[in-house]
Structure 1
Amino acid sequence: MKKIALALLAALIIPAAAFAAGKEIKVGVTPFPHKDLMNVVKELVAKDGYDLKIVEFTDYVTPNTALAEKALDANFFQHIPYLENTNKERGYDLVWVAKIHIEPLGLYSKKIKKIDELKNGAQIAIPNDATNCARALRLLEKSGLIKVKAGELVTAKDITENPKNLKIRELDAAQLPRTLQDVEAAVINTNFAGEAGLIPAKDAIVIEGKDSPYANVLVVRGADKDSPAVKALVKASNSKEVKDYINKNLVPKGIVPAF
């Protein structure tokens, strides 16, 4: 995965010209549903004279690196806490300019159908990136399985009560669907669940509510946030057309609009 990510970044190393030329916008996305939504946006920004180039990534690190290094003009794959943590850790000046949708995190299993079927000592896999790890632990806490210390970026080490002695495994988010044969359950991001053929609204044992604070956002460099190209991108991303697409195609899969 790391080699693929580096290869993608190397391929993009020529700085994007969108905000200099004013006509091409290069946006980095992860596959589902971000790529799908940007395809809707692509048609809309074309009406304003912009050619949207969509670059697909398979990890959560490279899109921000590519944006910070000007290989992209924007990206669309992350929620606000993840962005804030990345800026803090790497010193980037990346800002979100539009909330687009919410992907509820869900607990999935091939071995059980209800929370109370979890056996003592069962293994549960969760994302290993800081914000989604904390988010997954809060979901397990809300489900009554564990208790965790107060704080934003909690990890498995911050579990204070674990009556079923659950074994928490922190793994790369993209790998989680493949672990379902090996663990009792896994907390999986909706985009990766969808790619694996899982339907959140139907297959998740437990799922975040629509009030989740983790809206997925359109992100640009701070210096570009007021540019005409970004304004066109924001207008299209928060358009009636995009909301209608989400309501028709994604709400049945557990994904809801954030605007």
Structure 2
Amino acid sequence: MTEQQTTSPDVGDIDIEIKKKHRWPWVAAAVGVVIVIVGGIFFANSTNQDKPFGTTLDVATWSTDIAAENLLAYIAQNVAPEHGITIKPVRIDNLIEINRAVDAGTVAGNFFEHQPFLNDAIAANGFQLTLAAPTFTWDQATYSNKYRSWAQLPTGAKIALRDDPAGQAIALLDLAEAGQITLKPGKETLAGLPQLGDIAANPKNYQFIQVPIGQLARSLADVDAIVVHISDVYAAGLTENQILARHPAPKGSEGGLVVSNKHLDDPNVQKLIQTFKDPKVAEFLKTTDNTLIRDTLGPIS
């Protein structure tokens, strides 16, 4: 994801609180008490780069990715104790600061991103980070308020997709997989990171609208369809009956635990990595009756 450049508040304006966030009853039950860092700016003045971690480790999720948050809650409660550690979930609402927090050593890891997004964060900010434990795939979908199939979607339809390189690439691969566009040679995989200029054929002359990740759900009212990670818009209230088509997650878009290169040799960080690699996590993703996770995340095959 080249990360959305969110304007950060002044340090004096920071409000830090510990609270339960009751989005829905199942979230409250699964997540429990979560530390909320508004904007993530707290981390700028609270670094722990060279200190080893103890057996209690903070792991951050992005504040709107409630599916990954629920999965992290399961791992914290049911897997981490078997590896001799305690995971404390931390929610950060700024897509730059969530990686900065890991790089600074103020959290032991984050759990919200795939390799292409991480690549953009590293290139833009010089972070020293590693996707140490790919854990899950994101289900992809095209949503529409007006149409229920590709055949119904008219010529010249407006389709919104994310404006960051990684998110845009995945959306274009979804459209190519659905037979709606053709990509240029060498751009047919996530490694090619296709962008709008890499569309070789657009038979129905779709008009593509680039939208920041946080605005995609709201943009559905103004366009004919949006292509997105389901988890990106679930918290905004989009539902299954608005899905025009589902798409398989492109290879290379697996999400998981990101840690700092500077702490890879820390024994407790190694325990953390092994926790996320535990086969119990994949088994849970295959068998869970938590509809939020089942409908938005999948195991890595």
Pairwise TM-score range, normalised by the shorter structure: 0.7 to 0.9
- 2:42 corresponds to which residue? 11
* 2:55 counterpart of 1:37: no
Question: What is the distance in 1 between the residues matched to 2:158 and 2:279?
Answer: 43
* 2:146 counterpart of 1:111: yes
Question: What is the distance in 1 between the residues matched to 2:239 and 2:285?
Answer: 15
Q: Which runs of 5+ in 1 are unaligned?
A: none
Shift of 1:3: 4.2
Q: Which runs of 5+ in 2 are unaligned?
A: 11-37
Note if contact 2:161-2:226 (Cα within 8 Å) is conserved in structure 1.
yes
When structure 1 is superposed on structure 2, of 62-71 and 119-128 the one drifting more is 62-71
Of 180, 188, 209, 2:248 maps to: 209
Identity of aligned residues (%): 24
Which residue type is aligned with residue 285 of structure 2? Answer: I
- SS for the counterpart of 2:110 is strand
TM-score using structure 1 length: 0.87
Shift of 1:81: 2.0
Shift of 1:257: 1.2
- SS for the counterpart of 1:118 is coil
Which residue type is aligned with residue 40 of structure 1? Answer: Y
Question: What is the distance in 1 between the residues matched to 2:162 and 2:76?
Answer: 31
Question: Per the alignment, do residues 211 and 157 of structure 1 end up closer, same or farther by CA in structure 2, a change over 3 Å counting?
Answer: closer
* 2:123 counterpart of 1:88: yes
Of 91, 107, 113, 1:56 maps to: 91
Note if contact 2:48-2:104 (Cα within 8 Å) is conserved in structure 1.
no
Which residue type is aligned with residue 10 of structure 1? Answer: I
Question: Per the alignment, do residues 197 and 17 of structure 1 end up closer, same or farther by CA in structure 2, a change over 3 Å counting?
Answer: same
Shift of 1:95: 0.6
Which residue type is aligned with residue 176 of structure 1? Answer: L
Note if contact 1:103-1:191 (Cα within 8 Å) is conserved in structure 2.
yes
Question: What is the distance in 2 between the residues matched to 1:191 and 1:50?
Answer: 28
Shift of 1:73: 1.7
Shift of 1:252: 3.5
Shift of 1:158: 2.5
Note if contact 2:155-2:205 (Cα within 8 Å) is conserved in structure 1.
yes
Structure showing the higher helix proportion among its residues: 1
* 2:200 counterpart of 1:160: yes
When structure 1 is superposed on structure 2, of 164-173 and 53-62 the one drifting more is 53-62
Shift of 1:56: 1.1
Shift of 1:74: 0.6
* 2:164 counterpart of 1:129: yes
- 1:99 corresponds to which residue? 134
When structure 1 is superposed on structure 2, of 161-170 and 1-10 the one drifting more is 1-10
Of 72, 90, 110, 1:75 maps to: 110
- 1:2 corresponds to which residue? 6
TM-score using structure 2 length: 0.76
- 1:242 corresponds to which residue? 281
- SS for the counterpart of 1:12 is helix
Note if contact 1:224-1:230 (Cα within 8 Å) is conserved in structure 2.
yes
